[in-house]
Amino acid sequence: MGIFPVWMLFIMCFICSSFQFNPVDNYLIDCGSSKNTSVGTRVFMADNSSPITLMSPQTIFVNTTSKPNTATTDSAVYPSAVVFGGTSNYTFPIKKQGGHWIRLYFYPLNHESRNLSTARFSVSAQSFTLLKDFRPPSVPVVKEYVLNITSNSLVLNFIPYKDSFAFVNALEVISIPDELIPNSAKTFSPSGEQDNLWKHALEKVARVNMGNRVVNPENDSLWRHWDSDFSFLKHGNLVKFVENVRAVNYTGFSTNDIAPPSVYGTATQLDTESDPNTRTNMTWLFEVDPGFNYFVRFHFCDIVSPQPNQMFFNVYINSLSVVRDFDLSKQTSNILRSPCYIDFIARSSNSRNLNITIGPSEAYNAYPNGILNGLEIMKISDSKGSLDFGDTIVQSSTSKLKSWTIIGSIVVVIFVALVLALVLFIIWRRRKLAHANHAVQDQFGNKGRKSTDGIATISSSKIGYSFPLAVIKEATKNFNDGLIIGVGGFGKVYMGVLRDETKVAVKRGVPHSQQGFSEFETEIEMLSQFRHRHLVSLIGYCDEQNEMIIVYEYMDNGTLKNHLYGSDLPKLNWRQRLEICIGSAKGLHYLHTGSTKAIIHRDVKSANILLDENLMAKVADFGLSKNGPEIDHTHVSTAVKGSFGYLDPEYLIRQQLTEKSDVYSFGVVMLEILSGRPVIDPSQPRETVNLVEWAIKGLSPGELEKLVDPFLAQEIKPESLKTFGEIAEKCLAERGVDRPTMGEILWKLECALQLEGICVRPRLNTQPSNSHFEDSVLSTQYSVGSDIDGVSMSKVFSNMVRTDMR
């Protein structure tokens, strides 16, 4: 009999020590509940079953049966709460002094006797103000703090605002490993160190896992929730998300407790593959309260380089360089895939933004690259021990007040009141958003390609961010008709502005149409799998309340169609048109070849090619896209779909769908670009109503000029026109097999751009023949990467240079 418990104990100790940090103090309270509640592997105790004492002049326990929808597993603690009518406190006995998490869970659950949304209160612990004049947002929120507890007990005070009350749904007080937070960290401007971090309270502002993956508390040894970085990224299109969790090899520069493998094993990387000459930064924007210092921790792990000493980059906080030419290998003694981290203190500023930037290094002739795996930002309590923004403002204003005249001070008081009101409003709004963010569900999370071991596989597939409907409504002023920028079969498209001032295009599907829903799903799926500078980027989606909303990057210059005809926009010149043509061809080429299975767009037309502020073309609208034929080229699709005038006749007749159907439609777009008129124009004389029919006759030499947009007449060089005409003609070939591939078209278009028709391609040693599309050398070159700018060659080249230098 005696052996059994010992054996059990052994197993339990083994589990504790090998998998999870074992905190000395570990209080988990499901406030207001009469029973213990499991959250993942942890149990939150009923309020009355613990050594914790609650002292309060007036409490009520409330509970409901409905759980809020949260992405994390913590939803079980929200249906109950304890409500405090007066100043109240929880006292926790502390066995081990030192750093502790304090996590406070708030959710104004729906209760008939009391509307918890009207609560207003402050929370303090030791000498620190954790929350001041807090009004809970309508979504679940977890506030998280780190406190160095320096006595044998922790008293957590809840102080209701007068005439109001306080509440809390759940509490955690947990010891953390001593090494988690250092006592000092490097600062910049003024440079030096900030000491005595332990004397401050820290509040989590952001904890982000790069690589667009959420990490739930169950996958973190200290039960931290890591948000996905996607929604913080300033530009989503020049980065790629990579994943290789199994490769992570802790060798002492970081530990599993500092951050788990699921954080180090995913990363966001600069995407220089499509164009190694682009020198671009990746930046994440975080909203912070001005006037505080922030503790910033960067987590790195090189899960992408095949060997050490290949990853150099610069790290910036608020555009200030904090590490130049950072060599990840040096940081980890040349051990690849070894996690490490670096800490900084960002000094207080007046900005409401904290910007984190990773940019390519110019040193060592490095291939432009950069990576970030995780990021934590914590607010450091001010000299008064407060973490509340309102406090700082009031203090600084009132100290000035004294020396001012009475009239002046009245003005100041009014001003302060206004500022305060604004600040509270901002805080309230920000929290609301932050919590909405928290509640994100990534239902498309499993569509990503799984990484295998060995070299990191690039997961080109990523999840769009699920927006709360409230955020969309705010961005579009509640779907204001004045913001409509387009109307299509699917529904209306609005211009919207997110809180960080990003402009977005919001496509709102007509609800309740089954057809629409499958297209909605297809589009999100396609856009989340494919990212390319010439494909319009997905920012997120919203499917709350039967809505079908897709949020895209905003394209300042609208559709190509509008620039060609039927609007007052200035006409595009020939060079611009060619570049747009090349851009959209790159986008389509990527769709056709970027993954193992070709994707057929199925609705290529000038209205689906969008132009950004620099008139760069991006292909849009993937609602009809389909995976192409896999092995045989005889895929028979069930229903013919597409746009009239652009439809491949072969597809129409034989219902055979291949990439070449897109090529046909692209040929039609080329004709539109050349002629500046619609495909079907009833106002034209009978024989020229249908642009394609007319063009096929007109494409013979000598006739071509008749097609050209009169606006361009003087501009086009005959050679360029000839090449362009040849490509269009090939694209419009009756049989798909006779049409060129997008890669071939791209090549020829770039030739046309060189005006003389001479292709200057120094990196390739093949001299392509000008008259033939059937050039096998070219097609193999094209099929390797996501873009065709000789990427692989230049990469090899830069690697060679680097090897030579060593």
As annotated, the binding site for ATP includes: 507
Window contacting ligand NAG (CB under 6 A); options: 243-251, 451-459, 489-497, 754-762: 243-251
Annotated binding site: 507
Q: Give the total of residues touching ligand NAG (CB under 6 A).
A: 45
- How many residues comprise the chain? 806
Burial 685-710 (b: 16+ CB within 10 A, else e): eeebebbbebbbebbeeeebeebbbe
Catalytic: which of 603, 648, 709, 787? 603
Binding residues for ligand NAG restricted to 250-269, rule: CB under 6 A: 251, 262
Instruction: Give yes or no for residue 381 binding ligand NAG (CB under 6 A).
Output: no
Report CA 342 to chain centroid distance, whole Å: 23
Instruction: Give yes or no for residue 451 binding ligand NAG (CB under 6 A).
Output: no
The least distance separating ligand NAG from the CB of residue 87, rounded to whole angstroms, comes to 5
Let me know: does 720 contact 674? Beta carbons within 8 Å.
no
Residue 329 or 460 with smaller CB distance to ligand NAG: 329
Residue 340 or 753 with smaller CB distance to ligand NAG: 340
Question: Do β-strands 549-553 and 538-542 pair in parallel, antiparallel, or remain unpaired?
Answer: antiparallel
Binding residues for ligand NAG restricted to 282-321, rule: CB under 6 A: 285, 316, 318-319
The closest of 345, 338, 360 to 280, measured between CA atoms, is: 360
Instruction: Give yes or no for residue 714 binding ligand NAG (CB under 6 A).
Output: no
The least distance separating ligand NAG from the CB of residue 68, rounded to whole angstroms, comes to 15
To the nearest 10 degrees (0 to 180), the angle between helices 718-731 and 659-675 is 140
Residue 35 or 503 with smaller CB distance to ligand NAG: 35
Phi and psi torsions of 81, nearest 5°: -155, 160
| Residue that is written with structure tokens 């299975």 in the block | 597
CA dist list (Å): 389 to 165, 350, 353, 507, 556: 21, 12, 14, 37, 36
| Residue that is written with structure tokens 């769908």 in the block | 657
- The one-letter code for the residue type at 136 is P
Among 351, 634, 780, 783, binds ligand NAG (CB under 6 A): 351
Q: Is 612 a catalytic residue?
A: no
The least distance separating ligand NAG from the CB of residue 65, rounded to whole angstroms, comes to 8
Q: Is 365 left (phi over 0), alpha (psi -120 to 50) or beta?
A: left
CA dist list (Å): 781 to 87, 416, 422, 788, 796: 73, 65, 58, 8, 14
The least distance separating ligand NAG from the CB of residue 216, rounded to whole angstroms, comes to 7
Q: Which residues pair with 240 in a beta bridge?
A: 269
The closest of 616, 618, 630, 639 to 659, measured between CA atoms, is: 630
Let me know: does 779 contact 743? Beta carbons within 8 Å.
yes
Residue 35 or 429 with smaller CB distance to ligand NAG: 35
Long-range contacts of 398-406 (CB under 8 A, 24+ apart): none
Among 11, 152, 195, 218, binds ligand NAG (CB under 6 A): 218
Q: Most distant CA pair in the chain: distance in Å?
A: 102
Binding residues for ligand NAG restricted to 330-349, rule: CB under 6 A: 335
Residue 84 or 747 with smaller CB distance to ligand NAG: 84
Among 11, 13, 22, 36, binds ligand NAG (CB under 6 A): 36
Residue 26 or 562 with smaller CB distance to ligand NAG: 26
Binding residues for ligand NAG restricted to 357-376, rule: CB under 6 A: 357, 359
The least distance separating ligand NAG from the CB of residue 802, rounded to whole angstroms, comes to 19
Among 155, 469, 497, 755, binds ligand NAG (CB under 6 A): 155
Instruction: Give yes or no for residue 212 binding ligand NAG (CB under 6 A).
Output: no
The least distance separating ligand NAG from the CB of residue 81, rounded to whole angstroms, comes to 10
The closest of 384, 403, 404 to 393, measured between CA atoms, is: 384
Residue 426 or 755 with smaller CB distance to ligand NAG: 426
Instruction: Give yes or no for residue 249 binding ligand NAG (CB under 6 A).
Output: yes
The least distance separating ligand NAG from the CB of residue 262, rounded to whole angstroms, comes to 4
Instruction: Give yes or no for residue 237 binding ligand NAG (CB under 6 A).
Output: no
The least distance separating ligand NAG from the CB of residue 377, rounded to whole angstroms, comes to 13
State the Cα–Cα distance between residues 715 and 727, nearest whole angstrom.
Answer: 19
CA dist list (Å): 312 to 283, 296, 334, 505, 629: 17, 20, 13, 35, 41
Instruction: Give yes or no for residue 193 binding ligand NAG (CB under 6 A).
Output: no
Sites of contact with ligand NAG (CB under 6 A):
33-36, 45-46, 49, 55-57, 63, 80, 87-89, 98-99, 115, 117-118, 148, 150, 155, 157, 178, 198, 218-219, 245, 249, 251, 262, 279-281, 285, 316, 318-319, 335, 351, 353, 355, 357, 359
* Residues designated catalytic: 603
